[in-house]
Amino acid sequence: MNERSSDKPGPRKLTGAEIIWECLERLGVEHVFGYPGGAILPTYDALTRSRVHHVLVRHEQGATHMADGYARASGRVGVALATSGPGATNMVTGIATAMMDSSPIVCITGQVGSSVLGSDAFQETDITGITIPITKHNYLVTRADEVAASLREAFQIAASDRPGPVLVDITKDAQLGTCEFDWDAAAPRAHRQVPDFFPAPAKLNEAAALINESQRPVILAGHGIILSGAGEEVRRLAEAADVPVALTLLGLGAFPASHPLNLGMMGMHGEAWVNQAIQESDLLIALGMRFDDRVTGKVNTYALKAKKIHVEIDRAEINKTVHVDVPLIGDLREVLQRLLPLVKPNRHSEWWSQVHISQQDSSVRDIQNLPDNGHLYAAHVINDLWRETKGDAVIVTDVGQHQMWEAQYYHHEKPRSLITSGGLGTMGFALPAAIGAKFARPDSEVWVVAGDGGFQMTMAELATIVQEKLNVKIAIINNGYLGMVRQWQEFFYEGRYAGTPLLSPDFVKLAEAYGIPGLMVTERSQVVPALHTSRFHAGAALIDFRVEQEDSVYPMVPAGADLHAMIRRPTPLVERPTDD
């Protein structure tokens, strides 16, 4: 094997395992996040002869989130590697997370030998069967000569159209077997050739007419803008037609937060004026978003006065939950490029003044504008983090209250500056995803913002940070509760806190055990100095923010309620009586 030379032209005899690495190199993969085991051992052995950098994770779920974080931070395909059986099943949560949020990852799993498939062999599991509903596609590869074509096609499928996860399960004998390696012969066929990929001109005209005639339009800006790289086109559309832009959680960063047309986040924890604008609108222009239930509230009462234009690459999303008047199927950027010349310059001053009135009403309730009462609120921590980093960091959040506060109080200017598990809502996502993001963008400042609950789900990956000498900063929003669930119990279950009070280790000591410096912050005055210290430390650092225990995220649209039926922050902020 040592005589192998990549310069030699023509097909060469390689093992399936060597072909895996050869393909990954040629596909431009620099980092693979993985965990070895019996059925993937031949591939690990061949790794010693590869240029690809392998990151040893502490749990395979972490590998998938890292690949996901890598993909979201860079737009390139992330790769995770695991063995058969438990290695593969541990990936399931990460794969489902990537599926829900359209993140392009390729998961490679070892599988028992093809001769014993289906015999309940040691560490055998039907991972292709298990992952059918949570992958865009998957492969069971049983021969060395199928490896290259499967991997090439897997990468293409993961990254094309609406991106998503692809799993390639490779039996041990396929890794050990040899065949002639022919890169060109393994070229993927274009799997998706849609005849009417671009909307018909008539449809575009119809959409443009709706936009030109609208009095109260709102753009609903989603993740698709980032995936398609259509930020510029969206800005041009919004500016030309003078349309307020509301963003989904995953759309944050797709349109600059500081832009005067930016309304902010919509949905369950969106600002009141955003949801009010949507409900009052006469035209919703939905761009790369999917009318998720957290965005619409009760569908039957959602934006009833509005016509709806839906620009979306995945036709299965059209009319899925909300009926739309003009669907435009295709890549968002290309569709907007065709639509823009048809849109007339317009001004909607009356509509804007209506929006501004409700904005002012919300402003007096904003926790940032309330007097300091000596308590440490998560919203203040996040807002200080935004100010300190000048909004320039890549923030990777976990799931829960802190995630919503981040969305409300860290103002994202650029695409791919917020990485968060939106669709699946996967606790434990932040720490590993941030590791992936740091590999994708080593020059960016990367912050984990996690709750004390979610952080404990995957905190074993602290060791990965240390082993890889990564400079990832960690902010734990520690309120001693599974806060979002506690909030629901407070609002909807009469304050019966079942299973939500949470004991945590001393996170500062824990970090120090890994060799990561830690700080604890209990007062508002300590926030900025702690952020400052951590930011200018050369390596990873952790801050344990002991925030107000029973704070809630406002405003809130209860699940399944009308979008305009929000629970508003009490004003002025009244101290909640202590528990009786």
Partner 1 sequence: MTEREKPHTFVVYVENKPGVLNRIASLFRRRGYNIESLTVGHTERPNISRMTIVSSIGEGAAHRVEANIYKLVNVLSVEDVTHGTTISRSLALIKVEAPEESRHRLMEIVRVFRARVVDLAPRSLIIEITGAEDKIHALVDVLRPFGILEMVRTGQVVMRRGVQERAESSPPKGAQDDPRPSQQKTGPELTGAGALVEAEHPGSV
The set of catalytic residues is 60, 122-123, 172, 484
In the complex, minimum distance from the CB of residue 319 to partner 1, in angstroms, rounded to a whole number: 7
Q: Which two tokens stand for residue 53?
A: 């950098």
When the beta carbons of 74 and 160 are compared against partner 1, the nearer one is 160
Pairing outcome for strands 166-171 and 105-111: parallel
Count other Cβ atoms within 10 Å, centred on residue 235: 17
In the complex, minimum distance from the CB of residue 193 to partner 1, in angstroms, rounded to a whole number: 4
When the beta carbons of 36 and 288 are compared against partner 1, the nearer one is 288
Distance (Å) of CA 509 to CA 421, 422, 501, 514, 529: 28, 31, 21, 9, 20
Cα 345 to chain centroid, rounded: 34
Q: DSSP letter string over 84-127? A: STHHHHTTHHHHHHHHHTT--EEEEEEE--GGGTTS--TT---H
Torsion of CA 211, 215, 218, 219, to 10 degrees: 20
Query: What's the full length of the chain, in residues?
Result: 580
Of 25, 48, 76, 40, nearest to 173 (Cα)?
40
Q: Which two tokens stand for residue 139?
A: 């492969």
In the complex, minimum distance from the CB of residue 104 to partner 1, in angstroms, rounded to a whole number: 15
Of 162, 68, 82, nearest to 127 (Cα)?
82
- Whole-angstrom distance, CA of residue 13 vs CA of residue 180: 4
The residue whose two tokens read 């490029």 is 337
When the beta carbons of 65 and 203 are compared against partner 1, the nearer one is 203
Q: Which two tokens stand for residue 411?
A: 């103002």
When the beta carbons of 136 and 411 are compared against partner 1, the nearer one is 136
In the complex, minimum distance from the CB of residue 321 to partner 1, in angstroms, rounded to a whole number: 10
When the beta carbons of 169 and 544 are compared against partner 1, the nearer one is 169
When the beta carbons of 275 and 296 are compared against partner 1, the nearer one is 296
Distance (Å) of CA 106 to CA 22, 44, 228, 440, 511: 15, 17, 19, 15, 31
Torsion of CA 367, 371, 376, 377, to 10 degrees: 0
* Strands of the sheet with 518-521, listed across from one edge: 418-419, 394-397, 446-451, 472-478, 541-546, 518-521
- Whole-angstrom distance, CA of residue 111 vs CA of residue 143: 12
In the complex, minimum distance from the CB of residue 196 to partner 1, in angstroms, rounded to a whole number: 8
In the complex, minimum distance from the CB of residue 192 to partner 1, in angstroms, rounded to a whole number: 7
In the complex, minimum distance from the CB of residue 108 to partner 1, in angstroms, rounded to a whole number: 17
Cβ contact 97:430 at 8 Å: no
Coil, helix or strand at residue 549 = coil
- Whole-angstrom distance, CA of residue 555 vs CA of residue 566: 6
When the beta carbons of 424 and 435 are compared against partner 1, the nearer one is 424
When the beta carbons of 73 and 313 are compared against partner 1, the nearer one is 313
Contact residues: partner 1, CB under 8 A: 128-129, 132-133, 136-137, 140, 157, 189-195, 197, 314-316, 318-320, 327, 329
In the complex, minimum distance from the CB of residue 324 to partner 1, in angstroms, rounded to a whole number: 9
Cβ contact 219:234 at 8 Å: yes
